């Protein structure tokens, strides 16, 4: 079974530039998450989709970050304009919808390592 695909793996940009990340979840997974992981910290949820609807974006800096999942499958996360503090690994994860009978785990992609200089 194919895992969560992310691209690019690495990106270096200058501050104030824009950048976009792409994620293709595991087939059939309705829930898609974008996390930001700064070095030495745990992953921080930026946005969560169920199909093409947003479930939680309370920690997404909406003045510069945006995300979409138009057809309920793959997703893009954009930063415009980037700041130095956006340097982090951006992780995409997907899971089946939770049910009372199945404690569904989230599967992660390899992440995109962003460096803002």
Contacts with another protein, residue ranges (CB under 8 A):
31, 33, 35, 40-45, 48, 50, 55-56, 91, 93, 95, 97-98, 103, 105-111
**Dist CA 15 CA 87 (whole Å):** 10
Which residue number, 17 or 110, has a Cβ lying nearer to another protein? 110
Tokens 């479930």 sit on residue = 55
Q: Write down the least CB distance from residue 110 to another protein, Å.
A: 5
Which residue, 48 or 75, has its beta carbon nearer to another protein? 48
CA distance 73 to 90: 18
Instruction: Pick the closer one to another protein by CB: 78 or 113.
Output: 113
| Distances from the Cα of 69 to the Cα of 53, 78, 85, 105, angstroms | 8, 12, 25, 20
Q: What's the min distance (Å) between Cβ of 64 and another protein? A: 22
Smallest distance, another protein to C-beta of residue 80, A: 25
Identity of the residue, 15 or 44, whose beta carbon is nearer to another protein in the bound complex: 44
Q: How far is the CB of 67 from another protein (least distance, A)?
A: 15
């Amino acid at each position: 079974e194919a895992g969560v695909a992310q691209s690019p793996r690495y990106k270096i940009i200058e501050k104030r530039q824009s950048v976009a990340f792409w994620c293709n979840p595991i087939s059939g997974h309705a829930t898609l998450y974008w996390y930001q992981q700064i070095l030495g910290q745990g992953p921080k949820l930026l946005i969560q989709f169920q199909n093409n609807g947003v479930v939680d974006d309370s920690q997404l800096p909406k003045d510069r970050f945006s995300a979409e999942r138009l057809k309920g499958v793959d997703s893009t996360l954009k930063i415009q304009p980037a700041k130095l503090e956006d340097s982090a690994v951006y992780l995409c994860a997907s899971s089946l919808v939770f049910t009372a009978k199945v404690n569904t785990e989230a599967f992660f992609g390899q992440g995109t390592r962003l460096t803002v200089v």
